[in-house]
Amino acid sequence: MRRFWISCIIAVLFPYIVTLAVSGGINGIRQGAGQNGILGGAEAGSGKTVYLEGRGSVDGEEYLVGVLARQMPADYEMEALKAQAIAARTFLYRQMGDRDEIRESELNLEGMGEEQMEKMWGSPRFLEYYEKVKGAVEQTKGQTMVYEGQWVEPMFHRASAGKTRDGDEGHPYLVSAESGEDVEMDGYLTITMWTAKEFAELIRQMPEGESVREDQIPDTIQVIERDSAGYVTQIQIGSHSFDGEAIKEALGLPSSAYTLEGYEDGVRAVCRGQGHGYGLSQYGAHVKAAGGMKAEEILAHYYKNIEIISGEE
């Protein structure tokens, strides 16, 4: 349970903020832009309002255009973008609960403004990608995912290690799902190396790692447990057992589906996938969409026994 909740915390912060590594809010920078600087905006009228710090307010659907731009590459297939838009809206509604208004600072979520989108995509592709992302939001207007009448926690990641991970009893809709396409993604496999000294220093920065010595590396490194999807859940280094996700964070690895092995005079990590491995695999969604799957089918593959409902129903 402790390991899962560590992953849950990272899941909120990592995929929404860290993985895509672009910061900023919605702000007007273009003459003729719509409300709060969103070019044209999405069709408004969701009944949900997000208050931006010192920058007024924006309708929830309009806000999601900037969120989706941050979360998923705009060159991904349209049905994958639509699936991500539904996941993002579900997160927004879950955070809001019964409220119709919320401050952006409460969301652990940020939208992007036009300037940031144009910088990320480049001027030649800006309008094309903006219209595509806006279209994904508009075509899924009001749609969210629920499980037994409650909004799900819509975890997602860039690419799994080949299949996604099981959740705990509090997340019964997170059931391991095949996502073999993920191995085709550029950057799926990464290799990182450290000297024994460098590795030990990184582990000693952890609260429980003070006793790890350079002369114990790599001989005392041993994976104790992996989950059914291949992600490390417990690993021993020196005389101490560590959470696999915590070691992933300490070493700066893209995923906890890793192996650590002695290499030359130090340690080598071979890592598969990107992200925590729970819920929607974005790259898997992209490939499945290219193969003809619709957004609803993609979401049903990665989140089991969920319903997609519309706020307009």
Q: Which of 30-44, 114-128, 148-162, 169-183 has the lowest mean pLDDT?
A: 30-44
**Pair 146, 287 in one domain:** yes
**Pair 42, 147 in one domain:** yes
Domain-embedded: residue 145:
yes
Domain-embedded: residue 161:
no
What's the average model confidence in pLDDT over 96-102? 95
**Pair 133, 98 in one domain:** yes
**Pair 137, 268 in one domain:** no
Distances (CA, A) of 205 to 27, 159, 191, 236, 247: 38, 28, 22, 16, 11
- DSSP output for 152-169: ----EESB-SSBPPP--T
The amino acid at residue 47 is: G
| CA R_g for the chain | 21
Q: Return the half-sphere exposure (C-beta side, CA atoms, 13 A cut-off) of residue 271.
A: 25
Domain-embedded: residue 142:
yes
CA-nearest of 313, 274, 299 to 147 is 299
Task: Tell me the per-residue pLDDT of 235-246, one tens digit each, with 9 for 90 and over.
Answer: 999 999 999 999
pLDDT score for 152: 98
Answer whether 166's CB lies under 8 Å from 226's CB. no
Which tokens in the block code for residue 222? 């041993």
Q: Which of 21-35, 91-105, 114-128, 297-311 has the lowest mean pLDDT?
A: 21-35
pLDDT score for 109: 87
How many structural domains are present in the chain? 2
pLDDT score for 47: 86
| Reported pTM | 0.85
Q: Is the peptide bond before 124 cis (omega within 30 degrees of 0)?
A: no
Q: What phi and psi, each to the nearest 5 degrees, are found at residue 300?
A: -65, -25
């990272």: which residue's tokens? 10
**Pair 230, 286 in one domain:** no
**Pair 145, 17 in one domain:** yes
pLDDT score for 54: 75
**Pair 199, 134 in one domain:** no
Domain hosting residue 216, numbered range: 189-272
Mean pLDDT, the chain, whole residue set: 88
**Pair 266, 281 in one domain:** no
**Pair 135, 284 in one domain:** yes
